[in-house]
Amino acid sequence: MREDEVCRKIVLAGGEGCQIVYCEGCQVVEVQLGAISVHLELTALHNLQSILGQAAIKLSVLKAIKVSPEFHYDQFNLE
């Protein structure tokens, strides 16, 4: 974060305890999870969105394997 910039924060999503804020002054995205706050460049936010999506899909597949033992993870190309 550049100290000489005036912070102008805009809440993009979420709420108390879990939210994503964009600072126009610093041009960074702040991911707030409880007491933890992580600053990300805009490209990093898009990367995070992508891997969160992949993780959610793979978790769904893993749960499907538990429900149907004959279901094989290898049948899917999730990359």
Tell me which residues touch Zn ion (CB under 5 A).
Answer: 7, 23, 25-26
Q: Where does the chain show beta strands of DSSP type E?
A: 9-15, 18-23, 28-33, 36-40
Q: Which is nearer to Zn ion, 5 or 52 (CB)?
A: 5
Q: Which residue lies nearer to Zn ion by CB, 25 or 53?
A: 25
For residue 74, give the 3-state DSSP assignment.
helix
Q: State in angstroms the smallest separation of the CB of 76 from Zn ion.
A: 41
CB of 42 to Zn ion, least distance (A): 13
Indicate the SS3 state at residue 78. coil
